[in-house]
Amino acid sequence: MTLFRPSRGPAPSSSRVSRALEGVRASLWVLPAAAAFVTLVLALLLSIARPAGPSVWVELFWPGDASSAVGFLQTVATATMAAATLTFSLTVVALQLASQQFSPRLLREFARDRVTQSVLAVLVSSFVAALVGLREVNADDPLPVLLLVFVQVLALASTVALMLFLGHIVRVLRVDTMMLAVHAEAVATLGASYPRFEDRSRDVGPGVPGPAGGSIVGSLRSGFIRTVHWEALVDAARREDVLIRMGVRPGDHVTEGSPVLSAWPVGEATSVDLEALERAADAAMEFGFERTIEQDVALGFRQLTDIAVKAISPGINDPVTAAHAIGYCADLVRRLQGRRLGPRRYEDTEGTVRLVAPDRDVRYYLDLVCGPVRRFGRSEPIVLSALLRLLRDAAATARDETQREEIRRQSRLIVDGMSSDLLAADREAVLDLGRRVETALSGDVDAAYRDRAGETRSV
């Protein structure tokens, strides 16, 4: 009998620490605040060292008097605060640009930028050290020479950091840099998430029950699933002597009370402890208000697709950038073809299947890439040709008939959805690439790529 058990409110989760660490990484203020605190303590300690009389090393490090020291510290405090304001302003501009012209799902990557966080940390540290120096310097006491040297070092470091930041922000604001960063993260996640195509060790066999008929367990929370700790679910299934079939995966959005898994008793068990599985599932899944890339390969595709769709919007009208984004997706699709997709099984230490985890398939990823772009770009030959080039590349490296059928399906959707308003020459160029996809699927890869002057390869 299938039983649905509603949620009973939040339960303790062992994933809070990892969520907190990820939140720290994505925060602009944590590193500068920590640097400011460390600088404050160090500056106060250095202010204790005050040479009683003149010496060679004192004259070497600070040849001036208290008045010149105060002027120097005031200059450093003013300049570093102005530089910090500039850095923050440029960061806000970058965030706004990324949100409006590229994809709002790129904002998290800007916030996680270690260069920006480090530059802000150096500038804030210089400001704090200068303030401590202004507090400690007076005409009646010996000068805190070590503190003044420390401020000098921080001032020089701030100058270097500001120059590096200006070069960094110019590079980061280029859309090609953003696409390269998204592609690199997606490649890393893809390699860590999927076994090689030849590896069938985790394939789900015919004897595994489901997906219908099990006892259903609901979610205790709402939000995006960021990561799932599969080993923790296997341990829980072993303790309860059940088989778990997950209904969700990283990147999915769930609401409180919606089903996340089904369970069947195995071995000597005759029933399912739904409350224990609720707590185990909640502890094994990390939730958030936005998707993250740790286990969510599809997020990388989504970010690149967002850039492509935004580029062909009427307000931007940049089909070449869209074609470049599709080119990065083409490489990801090619890499996916070398991986085994679909559901996977997990066993306990005794070899008993305890968990069946769902996953995305080839159709999902091709729909994710081609669907939005072909709908928004149906009247732009550059974009349609880029999609068909992606499919031609995929056809040339397809591993099995399932991949070939999905490639053929997407090619037909693109050709059938092409706008009838295009000129005959533009339509023919798109249709030619569609025929080349079919040629590559038939096995004649050389003919699929052979052209007059590279017109089917470049934008």
- Arithmetic mean of pLDDT, 313-336: 95
Task: Tell me the C-alpha distance between 422 and 279, whole Å.
Answer: 57
Instruction: Read off the pLDDT of residues 194-234 as tens digits, 9 standing for 90 and up.
Output: 999 999 888 887 667 666 678 999 999 999 999 999 999 99
Instruction: Read off the pLDDT of residues 236-267 as tens digits, 9 standing for 90 and up.
Output: 999 999 999 999 999 999 999 999 999 998 87
The pLDDT confidence band at residue 139, using thresholds 50, 70 and 90, is: confident
Task: Tell me the C-alpha distance between 150 and 69, whole Å.
Answer: 13
The answer to whether 362 touches 406, Cβ cutoff 8 Å, is yes
Is the pLDDT score of 4 beyond 50?
Answer: no
Instruction: Read off the pLDDT of residues 76-111 as tens digits, 9 standing for 90 and up.
Output: 999 999 999 998 888 888 778 777 777 777 777 777
* pLDDT at 105 (0 to 100): 75
Q: What is the strand order of the sheet 223-228 is part of?
A: 253-254, 223-228, 285-288
- Provide the percentage of residues in the chain whose pLDDT is more than 90: 67
The pLDDT confidence band at residue 269, using thresholds 50, 70 and 90, is: low
- Arithmetic mean of pLDDT, 39-43: 96
The pLDDT confidence band at residue 53, using thresholds 50, 70 and 90, is: low
pLDDT: which is higher, 455 or 58: 455
Task: Tell me the C-alpha distance between 255 and 114, whole Å.
Answer: 33
Task: Tell me the C-alpha distance between 46 and 150, whole Å.
Answer: 8
- Arithmetic mean of pLDDT, 153-160: 96
Q: Burial letters for 395-418: b for 16+ Cβ neighbours within 10 Å, e otherwise?
A: bbebeeeebbebbbebbebbbeeb
| Location of structure tokens 């679909």 | 342
Q: 428 vs 312, 385, 392, 424, CA distance in Å?
A: 21, 11, 17, 6
What's the gap between Cα 186 and its chain centre? 8
Task: Tell me the C-alpha distance between 233 and 267, whole Å.
Answer: 17
Closest by Cα among 293, 393, 409, 310 to 361: 409
Contacts of 256 (CB under 8 A, 6+ apart): 7, 218, 219, 220, 221, 222
Three-state secondary structure call for residue 344 = strand
Ramachandran angles phi, psi of 200, nearest 5°: -105, 15
